[in-house]
Structures are given as structure tokens and as C-alpha cells.
Chains A and B, each alone.
Chain A
Amino acid sequence: MKPLLLWSDALVFLLVIALVLFFYQLRRDPLTRERWAQVFSSRLGMVTFTVILTYVGIALLDSLHFRKALDAPVAAADQQSVTAEVFYDNQVTSVLDIMLGGMGERFERTYSAPFALQSFEKQNMKNAQGRAIRDFPPLEHAGQHLTDPQDKWPDVLAKTLVSLLWGLLICAVWIAPQWLWLRRSPHPWYASWCAQAVVICLGVWMVSISRYYHILGTDQGGTDVLYQSLKGVRTGVLLGTLATLIMLPIAVTLGVMAGYFKGWVDDLVQYLYTTLSSIPGILLIAASVLLFQVYIDLNPDFFSIGMEKADARFLALCFILGVTSWSSLCRLIRAETLKISQLGYVQAAHAFGVSHARILGRHILPNVVHIILITFVLDFSALVLAEAVLSYIGVGIDPSMGSWGNMINGARSELSRQPPVWWTLSGAFFFMFALVLAANLFSDLVRDAFDPRSVSRRSQA
């Protein structure tokens, strides 16, 4: 086993550390604490935050990559090779794959419906008498333990009950310490616990049932749809955060400078963002991705395995999305800075001869943080949705890297089959919808709490 650190993995963990530090810093500010308390004082805030954290957790688990050691070839063992060289699998595995108990390694030949025991398409095969017939072949990894296909649903039910019991047991162990610690807290933690319990039970159920059945069926290539959907989580979450993270420094620096220094700096920044936003976004992104793709294709030596190539393309996509989308945030920050720099305390700082850098750092930046925060959560869901569209256009994630966009793209004509193949689309739909909905609802709460305009509106009411 050899750990493998992809560039995106490294960035993700850096990001997590940075976010934790950032929020730790923010905690010291009483006003910020009060606003966060407002977000978490609603049950909705608790539940959506739990859902988002679950997705982030899956993404982080899926970011711990390694390459499995291959079994030494028999021929080499015969020769008693002195150098015990170990060869590593070109396929990259992650901790999530292991936790799922090999869900991704149970391939079928082609389509099969959820919980099906037989393949979806008829095939030529031989019956017991050795005569050629055309029938639905049995699946290789579903219902192998059943002697009679009639027992399928009672068996599923029994296994569900057992896994539910296990799930509840784990829930009890997981939630009890939280209860001891937080029972006197004024926030509605019980809503979060309910959500956690549902997530844990669902997770346990999925892992245990998927050993015997394909819960969401298999796709055209015979891969488990549930597994693909889970692999899409990392792509979606990472894209949403990394692209925003790349956008932030550009937008904040330019916006604050334009609003503070005014004059030609302001003109230049305004010119830059008007130019950039007048180009149709999707064309700019498509053109940039295509150009990068040409670059990768012409320089294949940079990447030792396919996964690294896909990862490079993914990072390029994040980078491109970030660089092309800073204009709206920049405009907001510029306007806010213009407003703040007219205020008394900034004028006073000027009068005392405080340096520009210090005024920017101490007086202006802390007062635009709420805009950054609101944009961060708002953009997240938009980016997750954009990924699907980009993959459809053919400029999205590399097909070898699982993503919801690629799943939809591959399955878009499946509904017009007879009978329709609905499960691949449903899998992608459900996982994407849950994440985007949670992010949207959460961002609404954050905006309500942090946006001064909505604060004043509330105090009026």
C-alpha cells in the first residue's frame, strides 16, 4: 500500500485547516458569534448544516488516496528476484472505497435494475440441457446467497431490520457523548441529532445491503450506481469550494483596492471586470478548458498515472471557474469599500496618519467579511449545478473521475429506452439535489443573519 497525495487532496486538507483557523479567529468577535448563534438557533440551520457536513466528510474520506500493492507475479517469485520490488496498482483507491466494503468492485456485465437478480438485457446462453436460449442472465454479485428468487423481498426486509438495529446502536454510541456535552445548550441540537441518526442508519443500511444487492442497480458498464453517486460527492464538494477559494483573493484584493484608492485604480478594475463579465461565461470557460485539454494532450509525460491527469484537469477547471467568476463579488466589495471609506472611523484613521495597509487590514477588510461569507455559501450550490452542465457540454470533469455531471451525461438517453432505465439518473439526481438544497437553505440562513440589509429589515418588523 502506498499513499498518494493528489494535488487536489493537498489543497483540500489545506483548505480545511484554513477554514478551521478562520472560524476560530471569528469566534473571538462577539458580533460574529451572535450571528452564527442566530443561524444555528433554527432547526433548519442545524439539519442543513449536518447534511453539508456529511457531504464534506464523505469528500474528505474520499480524498485520502493510496495505491494498492499488486500481488507479485508468480513468474518473478520463481526467479527468486533479489530486489523485492513491489508494483502498485494503477487504480487509485481511497479510504471511502474501503469503508464501503468493496462496493465499487462488484461489476456486472451491463444494466441491472435496483435490487434485481437478473440482468436487464437478454443474452444468448445455454440452459441446463446445453441448448442455446435467449434469456436474462443472473447477476454475478446480487442475491448469491438466495436459494429461491422468491425469497428476495423477505430477505431484503430482514437484512434491513438487522442493519437498522446496528445503525441505532451506532447512533446511540455516537450521539450520547454529544448529548452529555450539549444538553444544556440553547440551540436545537436535537434536530441535528435526528439528522445524524438518519444519516448513520442510512449509511449502515447502504453498506450492509450493498454486499448482497445493487441498491440503485448498475449502469451500462455494469458499475454500481450507488457507488458512482458516492464518488461524485468529492468532485461536487471540492469543485464548489476550491473554485470559490481561487476566486476570493482576486475579487477581494481588486475590489478593496478599487474602492479604497479610487482614481485610476478604480477605473482599471472596473474596466477589467466589465470586460470579463461581458464575455458569455460558458464560452469563456469552454474555451479555456479546451485549451488546457490541448496542453495536457501535448504533454503526456507530466503525469505518471491516469488519475493524476484527471486530477490536473479537475484543478484546471476549478482554476478557470474561479478566474472567470470573480467579477460579481469584486463589484459588491468595491461598492461596500467605497461606502466604508467615507465613514468617520476611516477618516479619523487617515487623520491620525495610519498607513494605507493598516487601514485596509484593520478597518476595511473586517467589514467586508460578511459579503465574502455570503458569496462563499451562495456560490457553492451554483458551482455544483454548473459542474453538471459543463460535463454535458464536454468541458467538465474527466470521464475517468466520477462526477454527477458525467453520470447524467452518460445516462441522458436512457429514459427513452423501452422500458426506461431510470436509476442512473435518479442516483445522480438524489445526491445532487440533497447537497444543493441543503446548501441553498443554509445560505439563505447565513445571508439573513449576516446581511446588514436584512438585519435592519427584521428590526423594523
Chain B
Amino acid sequence: MFAYIVRRLLYAIPILIGVNLLTFMLFFVVNSPDDMAVSQLGEKYVTPQAIAAWKEKNGYDKPLFINGAAEGAGAITETIFFTKSLKLFAFDFGRSESGRDITTDVSTRMWPSLAVALPTFIVGIWVNICVALLVVMFHATRLDRWAVFLFVSLMSISYLFYIIGGQFLVAKTWKLVPISGFQAEGQAWKFLILPVLVGVVAGIGSGARWYRTLFLEEANQDYVRTARAKGASEISILFRHILPNALIPILTGVVVLIPSLFMGSLLIESFFGIPGLGSYMLDAIKSQDFAIVRSMVFIGSILYILGLILTDISYTWADPRVRLS
């Protein structure tokens, strides 16, 4: 088990290097530092001196891969690739284009993101499984068919409409909670309840439909027929036989998402004014702050790979037949 995890972690290194190279290509080769200087400075102030000054100030005045002018190890270290990209591996994210320290920003903004994403995640799974079980109980009836139609309709509504509609109904018309904002202590729940609600409702369509398919797949298995033949009640078949067996495919889809919860949700956070990582990314994209986008891409990939490893570990826990080797 331990050896397996170590091997998986080592396997992650080439992937992260690949991610790094890809982002580096995107940010520095396709779009040279000169182009960045022009777009950051604005068309008006573009003089060769201004570009050179901007590049020096932000540390882009070096060659991309190999510095022929520097001596010894400097040929590798005194390059943009080393200072801007490889340092990410040491979790040294550097400063954003506007001069803020990215590491501090990320560590403070992580918690509001988690405060929204974690309840949404847990409540969402719980609600989806409940709804799906309820529908499976009425399998092959008219109710089941209409429920599936309802799920598909819910899936077909853009996430934006859930947010806009939720804010309009709950916050504006009924005035139950504030429309947006965030507070770290005290009445934080007041600000969290609507984003969580919107997140859960928006996920019901696709989530419940997916769980329904998983449950039905199990319901067609032989052991279910045997249990029914032996006179087990429908309720006990559902909870004692189908639910535990459907856990394995559920885990595949769910566990991989857990680490990414730190990243928060781009849309929810920006609409509800929650100062998390999601709105951080959105602001970075809107202000074209590539330093932040680069760091977030790196963090996101690490979390995803972590999720994959967690998925494998959770298999051994859910299914005794699986052995990691």
C-alpha cells in the first residue's frame, strides 16, 4: 500500500512537469514577454524603454530556456523557465503582476472557498442519492419516467440561471438572506446558505440521474434477483444490497473531486461575492494576470492528481476484492 502510494506520487512528477511545460509554452513562447508588456502597459505608452523597464521590473528580461551570458549553473537558473515555472515545484508562486504575494493570497482565500464548496459537496451527494433511491423504488412506472424527464430538464438549464434565479427569488423577493457578501465569523451561515442551496439544486439534475443509472445497473444483477427470490423486502434490497454495491462506481466519480474543493467554484463565488480562490481566478483572468493563472493551473493539477490517488485508496476501503500492488 505504502509502496503503491509512493510510486503514484513519483508518477505524478512527469505529469506535473508536462503541465508546467505546457503552461510555459502557452504563456511565454506563444505570447512573448514583449507582447505581455505591450498589453499590460496599454497601446499609448509603448516605447522600447518602457517595455524594457516593465520586463526588468517583473523579471522577464531573461532568455527563455538557456542563458548563454551567465556562468556555470546560472545558464540554467537565470532563465524565465527556471524563475517563473520551475519554482512552482517548491510552492514558490512569486508575485502577481500587481505585486501581491500569491502564496499568502492563496492560503487566505482557500478557506472561504472550502466553506462554500464542502457543504455543497456533502449535501449535494446526500440529496442526489436520496432522490435517486426514491426514483429507483418506483422503477418502470410512470413516475420514474417523468422523474427522468425532470432530471434532464434540470440538466438543460444553464448554471447561470440557477444563480440568477436563486438570488432573485430567495434573496430579493423573499428577503430571507443577503444577496451576496461574506463574513468570516459570527453570521457566516447567513451568507453561505444561499450559495450552498443554489449549488445543490443545480446539481440535482445530472447527479440524481447518474446515481439512478448506477443503482439500476446494480438492480439488474443476479444477486438482487436471488435476494428477491428469497423474500427480502424491497427496502432491504435497496439499502442492504444495491446501495453498498453501487458505492464503488460512486466513489470513482466523487473522490476525485474532493481535493479540488479547495479551488472553489468560479461562478458561485463571483456572483455571491465570496472572497475565495474561484473569484481570485476570475479576477486574474479578467485582469489578464498571468502569474496568478499560472500558479492556479499548477495548484489545480496537483489537487487533481491527489484526487486520483485518493480514488484508488478508497477502492481498497470500499471493495475488499481490490488490492493495490
Contacts and interface: CB of A to CB of B under 8 A. Distances in A.
Given A271-B15, A392-B267, A279 B297 contact: yes
B157 A433 contact: yes
Interface string A269-288: 00110111111101110111
A437 B154 CA distance: 9
A461 to B, nearest CB: 7
A280 B22 CA distance: 13
A395 to B, nearest CB: 7
A364 to B, nearest CB: 27
Given A286-B293, A297-B39, A412-B164, A385 B159 contact: yes
A411 to B, nearest CB: 9
Contact of A388 (B18, B27, B158): B158
B297 A283 contact: yes
A416 interface: yes
Contacts of A394: 285-286
Contact of A271 (B14, B157, B172): B14
Contacts of B26: 287-288, 291
A275 B286 contact: no
Contact of A283 (B161, B168, B281): B281
A425 B161 CA distance: 8
Interface string B275-287: 0000001100110
A290 interface: yes
A290 B288 contact: yes
A282 B267 CA distance: 11
Nearest to B305: A278
Contacts of B266: 282, 393
Nearest to A404: B158
Nearest to A444: B152
B23 interface: yes
Contacts of A291: 26-27, 30-31
Interface in A390-439: 392-395, 408, 412, 415-416, 420, 425, 429, 432-433, 436-437
A131 interface: no
Contact of B168 (A287, A295, A420): A420
Contacts of A395: 285
Given A287-B27, A393-B266, A457-B220, A436 B286 contact: no
Contacts of B158: 385, 388-389, 408, 429, 432, 436
Interface string A358-389: 00000000000000000000000100010011
A296 to B, nearest CB: 11
Interface in B46-97: none
B156 A436 contact: yes
A440 B152 contact: yes
Interface in B166-198: 167-168, 172, 179
A441 interface: yes
Given A290-B288, A408-B160, A415-B168, A389 B267 contact: yes
Interface string A257-277: 000000000000001101111
B16 to A, nearest CB: 8
A457 B214 CA distance: 13
A284 B304 CA distance: 14
Contacts of A288: 26
A74 interface: no
Contacts of B14: 271
A10 B304 CA distance: 39
A23 to B, nearest CB: 25
Nearest to A422: B168
A290 B156 contact: no
B15 A278 contact: yes
Interface string B220-243: 100000000000000000000000
Nearest to B298: A279
A280 B168 contact: no
Given A287-B23, A295-B31, A461-B220, A280 B164 contact: no
B19 interface: yes
Contacts of A290: 285, 288, 290
Nearest to A394: B286
Interface in B1-52: 14-15, 18-19, 22-23, 26-27, 30-31, 35-36, 38-39
B155 interface: yes
Contacts of A275: 15, 18-19, 22
Interface string A183-226: 00000000000000000000000000000000000000000000
B103 interface: no
A282 B15 CA distance: 19
B235 to A, nearest CB: 22
B296 A280 contact: yes
Interface in B133-157: 149, 152-153, 155-157
Contact of A294 (B31, B168, B286, B300): B31
B314 interface: no
Q: Which 4 A-B pairs have the closest CB atoms?
A: A280-B300, A275-B18, A436-B156, A437-B156
Interface of A: 271-272, 274-280, 282-284, 286-288, 290-291, 294-295, 297-298, 381, 385, 388-389, 392-395, 408, 412, 415-416, 420, 425, 429, 432-433, 436-437, 440-441, 444, 457, 460-461
Given A278-B304, A280-B300, A287-B297, 12 more contacts: A278-B305, A279-B301, A283-B300, A288-B26, A291-B26, A298-B38, A389-B159, A408-B158, A408-B160, A412-B160, A416-B172, A436-B158
Interface of B: 14-15, 18-19, 22-23, 26-27, 30-31, 35-36, 38-39, 149, 152-153, 155-161, 164, 167-168, 172, 179, 217, 220, 260, 263, 266-267, 271, 281-282, 285-286, 288, 290, 293, 296-297, 300-301, 304-305
19 contacts: A275-B22, A280-B300, A283-B296, A286-B285, A286-B293, A291-B31, A294-B31, A295-B30, A298-B38, A385-B158, A389-B160, A392-B160, A394-B285, A408-B164, A416-B179, A429-B157, A433-B153, A433-B156, A437-B152
